[in-house]
Amino acid sequence: MNRIWVVVTVIGASVGVGCGQGRLIFNVDAFSWIKGDRRDTVPYFALPGFTDSASTVQKISLPGGLGSSLVDTVKVSGTADLQNQSGGPGTMTFQVYLAGDSAGTYTASRDSMLTPAISATVSGSSTTPLVINANNLSPRGDSLFTKSAIWVRITARVSNPSGVLIQGKAVLTKLDLRVVIQDKFF
């Protein structure tokens, strides 16, 4: 029995040393919750002279018991592809929102991970890779990451000033969250 506690103590000490000063680090592969079933894809279809916007919403579960903890850092990284199928030139913007519930991703209180939105020019049949990099959402995202779940909404908006229909899709290919929590665990 004592041998088990020695192993648990050694593991606990190594985790504490690795995290430093009472910090717990979560690396969340948010893309694994979003990929598949077209939840990672936002199609767009913009007539000449118009703008089209589409989105998809997904819930991501987080470890519980962090309600009284302080969020030190929230970093977001990932990639997306703008897969234009035809038309253009036009301007595409790609945006990621966070909220405590699905409706919150649509309201004025929503928390955008990308400020400003990522923009690119789309034309013809082409794929444009995008890099998502939000260095630190804290303190804006603090209350979100101490809950048991967050909701993520990705949007694609295309503006079509040309005389040709623009259509395609924005495909999220990677989304990682790195959350550093201080003290008061569980």
Q: What is the pLDDT of residues 75-102, one digit of tens each?
A: 888 999 999 999 989 998 888 887 888 8
Structural domain spans, the chain: 26-182
Q: How confident is the model at residue 139 (pLDDT cuts 50, 70, 90)?
A: low
The confidence score (pLDDT) of residue 133 equals 85
The confidence score (pLDDT) of residue 50 equals 86
Cα–Cα distance, 147 to 151 (Å, whole number): 11
Q: Which helix (H) or strand (E) holds 8?
A: helix 2-19
Task: Say which residue, 10 or 114, is predicted with more confidence.
Answer: 114
Mean pLDDT in residue range 175-184 = 79
Strands (E), 16-125: 23-29, 41-46, 51-61, 70-86, 90-99, 111-112, 118-122
Residue 14 has pLDDT above 50, yes or no: no
Residue 145 has pLDDT above 90, yes or no: no
Residue 11 has pLDDT above 50, yes or no: no
Residue 12 has pLDDT above 50, yes or no: no
Per-range mean pLDDT, top range of 4-8, 11-15, 54-58, 144-148: 54-58
Find, among 157, 148, 132, the residue nearest to 54 by Cα: 157
CATH fold for domain 26-182: Jelly Rolls (2.60.120)
Residue 46 has pLDDT above 70, yes or no: yes
Residue 127 has pLDDT above 90, yes or no: yes
